[in-house]
Amino acid sequence: MKKNTILASAMVLGMIFSIPIASYANTYNKAEVKSNLVFVRTQANEDSALVSKAIQGQELFVLEEEGNWVKVKTQLGVEGYVNKNELNIKKTYEGIVTNDGVNLRLRPNIESKALSVVNNSDRVLVLEKNGEWSKVLFEGNTGYIFSKFIATEDEFKALVSRAGQRNDAEKLLIMANSLIGTPYSYGSNGPNSFDCSSFIQYTYKNALGITLPRVSKDQARAGETVSKNDLKSGDIVAFNTFGKPGSITHVGIYLSDGDFIHASSSGDGVSIDSLSQGYYSNRYITASRILK
């Protein structure tokens, strides 16, 4: 199966860059205590008086770093100094969300409870980034969102600037390819998981602002019918994967060179397959052109 290398960060295509009101510019980094017990002192030296103690695993707010010492604030608001060797400092940064309708989840998995929803241009404080999930702070809630939906401000501005230079088909395909690997889940509307028709609906809406029907058979009739030999990038291709002869049960978006992208229930989720050979070549029904 072929995988497209277009960067997932290009999901901002077609979106307008704006400066959100919320900002985390004055939010502190955090540090986790490494030793069994550390002393918080009034000054940055071993001879100064103790003002507090902290135990292993406890989190402290980092106010500033001074050589081998770190000025910290405890959860109770006590300020003082701790030797840097006793701490694991967690660098945070402000990220910008690149898509609408992104769930902020209690834990780093798609089955976890959604605490709130973040949208395009919302700013979050990225506390930790671990693979496909990032731990963030948003409007007082700490939770997890997919790392691919977060960009730095410079990345966000650059991507939006490039977006205006592409045509609709390019914007659509970059959005679609950015979702490769997203899990399949029947009835899901995205962006953390999709079924075949919600993938089509979500991609057209977020890349181009075009609202399509939710059901695959209606999507297959939403535009101008085109023949298989006349397919262009962005066309909706429709298949009969089960059911009565001629019925439409699955849809995807045509890429080029006989390939299409879709949300597959086979276990691959959003992935690329061939129209010219293999399983889908014998199950092709029709195609619909939305882009003129």
CA pair distance 126, 138, nearest whole angstrom: 9
Nearest to 239 by CA among 190, 273, 205: 273
Clarify whether 277 is annotated catalytic: no
Going edge to edge, which strands form the sheet with 133-138?
A: 114-118, 102-105, 141-146, 133-138, 123-130, 93-97, 150-151
Query: In 10 A of CB 19, how many CB atoms?
Result: 9
Q: What is the full DSSP assignment across 238-284?
A: EE-SSSSTT---EEEEE-STTEEEEEETTTTEEEEEESSSSGGGGTE
Clarify whether 283 is annotated catalytic: no
Q: Looking at 41, 71, 171, 250, which residue is catalytic?
A: 250
Q: What does the radius of gyration of the chain's CA atoms come to, in whole angstroms?
A: 24
CA pair distance 194, 202, nearest whole angstrom: 9
CA pair distance 109, 146, nearest whole angstrom: 9
64: left (phi over 0), alpha (psi -120 to 50) or beta: beta
Q: Looking at 136, 196, 261, 263, which residue is catalytic?
A: 196
Q: Name the phi and psi angles at 176, rounded to 5.
A: -60, -45
Q: Looking at 254, 262, 272, 287, which residue is catalytic?
A: 262
Clarify whether 19 is annotated catalytic: no
Query: What secondary structure letter does DSSP report for 96?
Result: E
Write out the catalytic residue numbers.
196, 250, 262
